[in-house]
Structure formats: structure tokens, C-alpha cells
Chain A
Amino acid sequence: MSSLTLTKKSRRIIPGFHLSLGYTMLYVSLLVLLPLSMIFIHTMSLSWTAFVDIITDPRAVASYKVSFSTALIAGLLNVLFGTIIAWVLVRYQFPFKRIIDGLVDLPFALPTAVAGIALTSLYAPNGWIGQFFDFKIAFTPLGIIIALTFIGLPFVVRTVQPVLQNISAEVEEASASLGANRLQTFRKVILPELLPAILTGFSLAFARALGEYGSVVFIAGNMPMKTEITPLIIMTKLEQYDYAGATAIAVVMLVTSFILLFTINIIQWLANRRFVH
């Protein structure tokens, strides 16, 4: 009882609650909530059938498929290679490790447009890497996947790395002393601990990839029905002053990413409960 009143009192000791809360609310209301609500308000001006017509237009539907499938594949690639990179950076020693570790963050620091033109010129049919392949990489969905993999890589590495660092050696020792071989220890002891972090990394990379624009427009080739991503559809409609059309597609994207975030939060909550109690 006495401790309860104490915490209640101590909450009031620190000043600035009304000022900082008011400032924070005002800032996010003016700069996030009001602007975002415009998407939904503006869509209201469309009739339901017009809205459905716009968002089920074959070209738009094709773009959902391109955006979703490339983001998904890139996310999975990031899970595979990101986990390997995190593993190697935490567990093994090799020269220039600190520099290489730092370079993992490059996609966060490099402007997306710069990444876009660099990857395009590398993977174009006459580029340094593209010339060694019989098939086209840039200007196909493959190129989009490469750009999105680049953008998403640090998300997985940087969420898995700290968890891997904190796994105590004792757990692995216990597993080994009970007769498990290395693969069994990895599958049954290490992987379950890493899984929530891998999932977080995947969801961050996937969400970012769904909305990514700068790095993709250069390498995608932007052919309608084939390599046109959904953000580009919005951009094209804006350039034609079709604000209603752009907004309708934006609603689809926003709702998708909200549902995605919501689902991922639930999965994470379940995974945490299952593995960490």
C-alpha cells in the first residue's frame, strides 16, 4: 500500500509532463496524423465503385504482385544471408572484421537513389556483373529483388547480432555435454533463441521493401504489368494529376502495411511467449 502511494507520488516529482506531452501530441498531430488522415478523407470523395475500379485495375493488381513477391523474396534472402553474416561477425575471427562490420550499415547511410544507380550500372547487361550472365538481371524482377535485398540487409543483421552475442556459452556447453552434436545444438538450442530476432528483422526489411522507391525505380525498368512497383503507380498517377487515383492506391498500401505490422506484432508476441516465457 505504502509503496503504491510512493510510486504515484514519484511520478509527479519529475516536471514537464504537460509541456512535453502537449508538444509531442501537437507535433505528431500536425506532421503525421493530419497529413495521413488526408489519404482517407480524400478517398471519401470517390464513390465505392470508382474506388474498387481503381484498385482492381489490372495494371495496379499486377503491381501489387510485383511489389509483394519481390519484397517477400528479398526478405527471405535477407533472413538467410543476414543470419549467416551476423553469425560470422559474432563467432569467427578474420582480418578487417571491424571495417566489414561497419560496412553492413551502408544501406542505412547511402541515399537510395545513389544505391539505385550503382546497382543498376553493376547489374545492367553490359555492367561489371551483368555481363557474365546470359539472362538479364537489371530491368527484370530479379533486379528489383537485388535492390530490395541491398536495402533490407542491415535490418536482419542488426537485430540478430545482439541476440547472438548474448546467448551464454553455458547453454551450448550443456547441450554439448548432454551429447548433442553441433547441428543439433544449433537447431534445438541456438535457433529457437534467434527466431524472434530473425522474425523482427524480416518484418522490418519486408515492410521497408514494400514501400521502397528510390533504389528500385532505376533498376526495375518500370514496364507496366511486369516490373512496375506499386509506389511507382502512385507516382505516375500524381504526374498525371490523378490525385484521386493515387490516393486510392495509397489506401491499399497503407492498409496492407498496417495489417502487416499488426500481424507481425502478434506473431512476435506469441514467439516471445513461447521461447522466452
Chain B
Amino acid sequence: MEQSTFIQQASTEKNKVTKSAALQEPRFIRYTLTFIALAFLAFFIVLPLASIFITAFQKGVDVYLAAITHPDALAAIKLTLMVVAIAVPLNAIFGVMAAWTLTKFNFKGKNLLLTIVDLPFAVSPVIAGLVFILLFGSQGLFGDWLFANDIKIVFALPGIVLATIFVTLPFVARELIPLMQAQGTSEEEASISLGGSGFKTFWYVTLPNIKWGLFYGLILCNARAIGEFGAVSVVSGHIRGMTNTMPLHIEILYNEYQFSAAFAVASLMSVMAIFTLILKDIIAWKSKSS
């Protein structure tokens, strides 16, 4: 044991020596590349992020607070949270089911199903909204029936939820499929052969194995669901205080030249985004250590 660690140490030492000789770029190139990378990130990531918070507070804290406590803003926040609370759990359950189907069994058409699960990623958000207008809009397939029964889907909460579900559908499944593929089926088989029920096997054997992947997918799904703009914009109808989500509220404020207010609401969303990044980092670290 001790010997092997010693050898390991020696070999890493050796690696370090050879690395400085022929395996690394000249110092000038290293510095230039690092400079290019950092400058690019500064202009494209750091500056935009900083500008959101600076512009938000440009006209003082009072204007900021007024913007985020405005009834329309509060209504937008409430609507966004409601949409997320419906869409994300549904897609999480679907993601687990789809990953279970696609990784634990072999069947004909498996690749086709995999492609269909991925399909929403290849579709423009605007088209994701359009399809629900074609289904449930006044000229749509179910338009007359919905009108006769006085059910509102498009330009109301159900439409926004449907569009959000469509756009964020693959996130959890995409995260779980490679993970469960790598884990194989032997542990579940052991549990079943020892008399565990299907549900118990999932709960006590599969779920602990995939929990970090599931969290990771949930966080990505959640971030996209909160911020979805194009698809929701098509189906919402932009009714202020009623069907405006946070991103749509930002758009309206911005188009009315209320820049401070627009950036104030945007800063709230940026805090959520930063929080997402931190959670992602923690989960990546946790899953590596476990």
C-alpha cells in the first residue's frame, strides 16, 4: 500500500518534470491564450452580468424597490413560479420514466424514441409556441370545441404551462439517460431477485444512484422554465398582471423605455441564474465525492 502511493508520487513528480520540458507551450503562448480566454469571458459574460445590476440600481434603491414590488411585477413573479411548479415536476417524472424505459430495457424503436425525446431541443421556441396556437387557438384544431365549452388554454395559464413543458421536456431525461446507461441493470436485478418489489427497487436502489443526476437535470430544467421567453411569448397574449411571466414583463418595461425597472426585474432573474450556477457547482462536487 505504502509502496504504491510512493510510486504514484514518484510518477507524478516525473510527470511534472517532463511537462515543463516538452509538453507545455512556451510561456508567451500560455499567457496569450489565457489572456484571450479571460478577455472573451469578461466581454461576453462578466460585463453583461455586471451591467444588469449596475443599471438596475442606477436610479437608486427606491426606484429599484418600486419596480420589483409593482403589482404587475408581483403578478409576473407569481405566474412564473406557478408555471415552474407545474412544468418542472411533470418533466422530472417523465424524465425518470423515459430514462428507466430507455436504459433498463431493450426494444425495437429505442433510438427513434430517444430522438423524439430530444426533439424539443431542435425546435425554435417560437415554433414551440406556435404549435399550441394551432392546437388550441381560435382557428386551431380544438378551437371551436374549447370555445363552446368556455375553456381557455391559449392566452391563459394552461397554454403557458404547455409551452414551457414542451421547451424543457428533454432536460431531466437527457441528464439521467447517460448516467443510468453507465450504471447498468445488475443492482436492480439483485434487488428483484432478493424479493424486492419494483417500486421498492426503484426507491432504495435506483434513486440513490441517480439522485445527483436528477438534481442536476431539475436545476437545468428549472432555470430554463423560469427564463423561457420565445415560446411563452407566443401563447401568453401579453395581458398585463394576468398572463405576463417575468421575462415578458421585462420585455414590456424595456420597450416602454423604463430601463431601470426592466433591469431591476432582470436583476432578480440574474440572482436566480447565479444561484443556479452555484447549485450546479455544489452538485457536481457532491456527485464526484460520493
Question: Which residue numbers of A lie inside 8 Å of B, CB to CB?
Answer: 10-11, 13-17, 20-21, 23-25, 27-28, 31-36, 38-39, 41-42, 81, 84-85, 87-89, 92, 94, 98, 100, 102-115, 117-119, 121-122, 128-129, 146, 149-150, 153, 169, 172-173, 176-177, 182, 207-208, 210-214, 218, 230-232, 234-235, 238, 241, 243, 246-247, 250, 253-254, 257-258, 261
Contact = CB atoms under 8 A, between A and B. Distances in A.
B127 A214 contact: no
Nearest to B231: A213
Contacts of B226: 111
A32 B120 contact: yes
A110 B119 contact: no
Contacts of A234: 124, 126-127, 130
Contacts of A25: 113
B119 A214 contact: no
Contacts of B19: 169
Interface stretch (B1-9, B44-52, B67-75): B44-52
A28 to B, nearest CB: 5
Name the 3 nearest CB pairs between A and B, nearest first. A111-B227, A211-B124, A214-B229
For A20, A103, A128, A232, which residue has the most chain B Cβ atoms within 10 angstroms? A20
B98 A24 contact: yes
Given A20-B101, A261-B122, A38 B134 contact: yes
Interface residue range, chain B = 35 or more
Most chain B CB neighbours (cut-off 10 Å) among A28, A149, A253: A28
Nearest to A257: B122
B88 interface: no
B33 A92 contact: yes
B185 A103 contact: no
Interface in B239-261: 246-248, 250-251, 254, 259
Nearest to A105: B277
A121 to B, nearest CB: 6
Contacts of A129: 43, 47
B105 A117 contact: no
Contact of A92 (B30, B100, B193): B30
A111 to B, nearest CB: 3
B278 interface: yes
B49 A247 contact: no
A118 B51 contact: yes
A238 to B, nearest CB: 6
Contacts of A119: 48
Contacts of A122: 47-48, 51
B47 A102 contact: no
A35 B134 CA distance: 8
A17 B52 CA distance: 49
B125 interface: yes
B45 A254 contact: no
A150 B263 CA distance: 19
Given A28-B113, A118-B51, A213-B126, A36 B266 contact: no
Contacts of A115: 48
Contact of B192 (A13, A21, A100): A13
A213 B105 contact: no
Given A118-B266, A243-B134, A31 B127 contact: no
